[in-house]
Amino acid sequence: MIKFEHVSKVYPNGVKGLRDINLEIQDGEFIGIIGMSGAGKSTFIRTINRLNSITDGTLTVDDVEISGLKGKALRQYRRKVGMIFQSYNLVPRISVIKNVLSSLVPDMPLGRVILGIFSKEDKLKALEALDRVSMLDKAFIRTDHLSGGQQQRVSLARTLAQNPSVLLADEPVAALDPVTAHEVMDDFKRINEELGQTVLINIHHVDLALEYSKRIIGIRSGEVVYDGPADEITQDILDFIYSKDEAE
């Protein structure tokens, strides 16, 4: 379980990214996070893997207060929290399978890392992850020969290979055409249902958020202004989430 208790984030320039967030996320949930650009959606999900450290409050994951994690403990924690970015973050001139195998490097002995030696078990794990996102047939193709949607699937496979319990996705389909966006969202949904992984997706497309998510968190000016079932959200609520704060 992920638990936010009075969590706030203030950036060094004084911008308030999050304001007094209080909520709980149960294991296995599929949550869409919506709001205007700059509302605090990315800040919200990045506090969970400590890419953003909170300023006030308490953030616990599986009863561990993550703000106090340092060094090896923080690195081990981050292995359990996968992150998928809009820009894929792949190495373009190497093969698809080598990109996926790169996620296993932190768990490998230094000598094997230096020599680039992966075990049979590692390779099978990478191939299994690619199979889960229908990219097994592209395993030995150079990554820069793939379409945007295919690259995002490789990014997802790379994250799956590290066996996380939580998947965070920051605008994973923003650069994709509608058909491909649905295909990638189908992958997230299937992984959530088959593997039971908690999925939190910061998503610009409201229609996709409502279609795929069971729960919606709406953020406006750093505050959670809606937290509830996707099928109970109304146009009035959406209008409020996407309205500009007059105090800004």
pLDDT recorded at residue 89: 85
Are residues 135 and 153 in contact, defined by beta-carbon separation less than 8 angstroms?
Answer: yes
* 194: exposed, middle or buried (Cβ count in 10 Å: 0-12, 13-18, 19+): exposed
- Rounded-to-integer distance, Cα 97 and Cα 28, Å: 27
- Rounded-to-integer distance, Cα 61 and Cα 179, Å: 35
3-state secondary structure 108-171: CCHHHHHHCCCCHHHHHHHHHHHHHCCCHHHCCCEHHHCCHHHHHHHHHHHHHHCCCCEEEEEC
69 occurs within a structural domain: no
159 occurs within a structural domain: yes
Domain hosting 97: range is: 89-163
pLDDT at 86 over 90: no
Q: How many CB atoms lie within 10 A of CB 137?
A: 10
Reported as a single tens digit per residue, the pLDDT across 134-143 is 999 999 999 9
241 occurs within a structural domain: no
pLDDT recorded at residue 175: 84
64 occurs within a structural domain: no
Reported as a single tens digit per residue, the pLDDT across 143-187 is 999 999 999 999 999 999 988 999 999 999 988 899 999 999 999
Nearest Cα to 43, choosing from 212, 189, 155, 202? 202
115 occurs within a structural domain: yes
- How many residues in the chain? 248
106 occurs within a structural domain: yes
Reported as a single tens digit per residue, the pLDDT across 188-235 is 999 999 999 999 999 989 999 999 999 999 999 999 999 999 999 999
Mean pLDDT, rounded, for 39-44: 95
Q: What is the pTM of this model?
A: 0.89
pLDDT recorded at residue 68: 87
Structure tokens belonging to residue 34: 């919506």
107 occurs within a structural domain: yes
Nearest Cα to 188, choosing from 229, 154, 156? 156
DSSP string, 22-79: EEEE-TT-EEEEE--TTSSHHHHHHHHTTSS--SEEEEEETTEEGGG--HHHHHHHHH
pLDDT recorded at residue 246: 55
pLDDT at 120 over 60: yes
* Chain mean pLDDT for the chain: 91
Count of domains observed in the chain: 1
pLDDT recorded at residue 60: 95
pLDDT at 248 over 60: no
25 occurs within a structural domain: no
The pLDDT > 70 percentage for the chain reads 94
Reported as a single tens digit per residue, the pLDDT across 108-117 is 555 565 556 7
